[in-house]
């Protein structure tokens, strides 16, 4: 009795189903795809920002199935949609055990935009210490003593440029490359000199402009000095929210004054809440630049605890939207494939059975219709009437039946001359009854094998149109919309990776099923000669 659904089928169908069951890859693909589809149908009960059941004031509520205004719970007279997560924190539920809410497995809805404060992130703050970029210009005399300077105090650990007056250029910790000293000497001799660019010790870059001989030697020679901090000079340290070092403080910390330390810690407290600009302080070794690298939440945001698939550019959970998008894709694919099959089967059957002028007129119409650009028409209609599921389904259905009609026409042309059809005509059975009761069941075999592939094709078309912005209405969860966001923000890899995986898995399962159906329904496998 357990095989009664199969036993009521005709022997040929039973044999085909048994052959399909022996193709393990196709069988398990079908099981997995059905499981995914069933799970997606219950998306509202798996992931939602509405509770499944609410018990309040002695009454039962089902928010996941029915809309209730806030007034139904609080008696406030407000008839807008309640925010159940905030409602749960009110004394009505927090202080009365008889009032409670039963939530889904995932307490996030597909349209729920989270706030930055709701995202759990690492509260620590990373401080990056590095020597500040320094640029200075000095003018030296023939004895290489600085007579004028601007911005050079930091190179020598001085408070101001005034302290550098008449100080030798080669003063600890600055060493002058020989090429620079030789270039300065040539300029004081009023000799023609080319531009000089030399990198000395401590990564200091010296440069002098070209010199053309003048009527008299120059009194002062201008030298540019530049120092850029390298990656190897950076030192990272982590501060906890309590302003304590997670590990040992940076080595430069001891060289900072108490005033500088206070300024750094004060800026660090602010950086835990609001991003801060870099801070420059003086140390015994010169200017130090501190960069405050806090983990601020900006959407789209990477996967974190509680949101393992990340968040999109509106703060919505990507995993939840993929779940709902899977439901939309499969329902759309199934409905649209069935719709196109109905149109294609009917038109192909009429052409193939009646033949003659009906077939000629039908073929010319099909050829003209096939030449019309589906994408351009879809874009035009979406621009005029807006994006909707009905419009998308209608346009897709009236343009994608052509391939099925060709196969069905060929089958009806082949079968209409068979003896069982002639016998039905002799018995006086009506033409439409002959077409759809006697010929159609025999003509469906090659068409059925295309159904899984057509389903995959419909899903790909939906994803492509959503990616281009001409698919489902705005806000509707879809794989294509997530991929479009990922293109705009390439760093947000989770917006591309996870929807692509979902599309790949569903498509692969559909292809495996299609290959299995094709092998099981192949008429050659039924021949005794094979």
Q: What percent of the chain has pLDDT over 70?
A: 95
Same domain for 286 and 175, yes or no, is no
Would 46 be classed as within a structural domain? no
Would 82 be classed as within a structural domain? yes
pLDDT-based confidence at residue 200 (cuts at 50, 70, 90): confident
Would 349 be classed as within a structural domain? yes
Tell me how far apart the alpha carbons of residues 125 and 269 are, in angstroms, rounded to a whole number. 9
Q: Residue 471: its pLDDT value, please?
A: 86
Query: Which residues form the domain of 60?
Result: 53-103
Cβ contact 237:245 at 8 Å: yes
SS3 helix, strand, coil % of the chain, rounded to 5? 50, 15, 35
Write out pLDDT tens, residues 327-361. Answer: 999 999 999 899 899 999 999 999 999 988 999 99
Q: Residue 530: its pLDDT value, please?
A: 42
pLDDT-based confidence at residue 4 (cuts at 50, 70, 90): very low
Q: Residue 286: its pLDDT value, please?
A: 65
pLDDT-based confidence at residue 204 (cuts at 50, 70, 90): confident
Write out pLDDT tens, residues 442-501. Answer: 888 778 888 999 999 999 999 998 998 888 888 889 999 999 999 988 889 999 999 999
* Residue 232 scores a pLDDT above 80: no
Same domain for 417 and 288, yes or no, is no
pLDDT-based confidence at residue 231 (cuts at 50, 70, 90): low
Write out pLDDT tens, residues 284-315. Answer: 666 788 888 877 778 898 898 889 999 999 99
Would 200 be classed as within a structural domain? yes
Same domain for 143 and 265, yes or no, is no
* Residue 202 scores a pLDDT above 80: no
- Please report, in angstroms and rounded to a whole number, the separation of the first and last CA atoms in the chain: 33
* Residue 1 scores a pLDDT above 80: no
The last residue of a domain, from among 103, 119, 145: 103
Write out pLDDT tens, residues 373-418. Answer: 888 888 888 888 888 888 888 888 888 888 899 989 998 998 888 8
Same domain for 249 and 356, yes or no, is no
Tell me how far apart the alpha carbons of residues 481 and 313 are, in angstroms, rounded to a whole number. 11
Same domain for 428 and 491, yes or no, is yes
Q: If you average pLDDT over every residue of the chain, what do you get?
A: 87
Would 24 be classed as within a structural domain? no
Q: How many CA atoms lie within 13 A of 407 on its CB side?
A: 18
User: Which domain CATH number covers 187?
Assistant: 3.30.450.20
Same domain for 395 and 498, yes or no, is yes
Q: Residue 9: its pLDDT value, please?
A: 59
Q: Residue 510: its pLDDT value, please?
A: 94
Same domain for 328 and 465, yes or no, is yes
- Is the preceding peptide bond at 214 cis, omega within 30 degrees of 0? no
Number of domains in the chain: 4
List Cβ neighbours of 384 (8 Å cut-off, separation of 6 or more): none
Q: Residue 140: its pLDDT value, please?
A: 92
Would 68 be classed as within a structural domain? yes
Q: What is the DSSP string of 319-374?
A: HHHHHHHHHHHHHHHHHHHHHHHHHHHHHHHHHHHH-HHHHHHHHHHHHHHHTS-H
Write out pLDDT tens, residues 14-57. Answer: 888 888 889 999 999 999 999 999 999 999 999 999 999 999 98
Q: What is residue 232's DSSP assignment?
A: G
Same domain for 435 and 507, yes or no, is yes
Would 44 be classed as within a structural domain? no
Q: Residue 523: its pLDDT value, please?
A: 62
* Residue 527 scores a pLDDT above 70: no
Same domain for 139 and 74, yes or no, is no
Q: Residue 526: its pLDDT value, please?
A: 52
């Amino acid at each position: 009795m357990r095989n009664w659904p199969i036993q009521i089928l005709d022997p040929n169908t039973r044999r085909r189903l048994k052959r399909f069951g022996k193709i393990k890859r196709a069988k398990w693909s079908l099981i997995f795809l059905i499981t995914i589809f069933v799970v997606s149908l219950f998306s509202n009960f798996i992931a939602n920002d509405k509770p499944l059941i609410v018990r309040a004031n002695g009454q039962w509520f089902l928010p996941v199935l029915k809309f209730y205004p806030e007034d139904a719970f609080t008696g406030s007279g407000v008839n807008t949609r309640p925010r159940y997560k905030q409602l749960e924190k009110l004394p009505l539920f927090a202080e009365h055990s008889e009032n409670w809410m039963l939530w889904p497995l995932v307490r996030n809805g597909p349209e729920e935009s989270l706030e930055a404060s709701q995202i759990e992130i690492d509260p620590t703050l990373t401080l990056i210490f590095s020597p500040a970029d320094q640029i200075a210009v000095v003018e030296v005399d023939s004895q290489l003593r600085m007579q004028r300077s601007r911005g050079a105090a930091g190179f020598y650990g001085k408070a101001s440029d005034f302290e550098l007056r008449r100080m030798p250029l080669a003063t600890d910790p600055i060493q002058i490359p020989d090429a620079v000293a030789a270039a300065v000497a040539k300029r004081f001799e009023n000799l023609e000199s080319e531009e000089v660019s030399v990198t000395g010790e401590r990564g200091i870059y010296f440069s002098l402009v070209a010199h053309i001989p003048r009527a008299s030697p120059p009194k002062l020679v201008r030298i540019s000095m530049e120092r850029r901090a390298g990656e190897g000079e950076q030192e990272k340290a982590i501060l906890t929210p309590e302003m304590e070092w997670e590990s040992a403080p940076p080595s430069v910390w001891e060289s900072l004054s108490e005033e500088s330390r206070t300024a750094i810690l004060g800026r660090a407290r602010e950086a835990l809440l609001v991003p801060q600009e870099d801070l420059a302080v003086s140390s015994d070794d010169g200017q130090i630049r501190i960069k405050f690298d806090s983990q601020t939440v900006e959407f789209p945001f990477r996967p974190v605890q509680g949101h393992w698939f990340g968040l999109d550019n509106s703060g919505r959970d990507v995993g939840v939207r993929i779940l709902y998008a899977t439901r939309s894709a499969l329902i759309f694919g199934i409905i649209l494939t069935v719709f196109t099959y109905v149109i294609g089967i009917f038109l192909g059957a009429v052409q193939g059975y009646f033949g003659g002028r009906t077939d000629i007129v039908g073929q010319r119409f099909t050829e003209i219709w096939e030449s019309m650009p589906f994408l351009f028409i879809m874009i035009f209609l979406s621009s005029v009437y807006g994006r909707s599921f009905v419009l998308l389904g209608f346009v897709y259905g009236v343009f994608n039946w052509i391939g099925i009609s060709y196969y069905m026409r060929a089958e009806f042309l082949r079968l209409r001359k068979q003896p069982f059809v002639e016998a039905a005509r002799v018995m006086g059975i009506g033409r439409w009854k002959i077409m759809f009761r006697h010929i159609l069941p025999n003509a469906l075999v090659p068409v059925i094998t295309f159904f899984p592939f057509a389903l995959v094709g419909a899903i790909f078309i939906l994803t492509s149109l959503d990616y281009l912005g001409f698919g489902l209405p705005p806000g509707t969860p879809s794989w294509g919309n997530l991929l479009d966001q990922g293109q705009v923000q390439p760093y947000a890899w989770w917006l591309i990776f996870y929807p692509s995986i979902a599309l790949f898995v569903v498509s692969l399962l559909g292809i495996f099923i299609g290959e299995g159906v094709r092998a099981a329904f192949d008429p050659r496998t039924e021949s005794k000669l094979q």
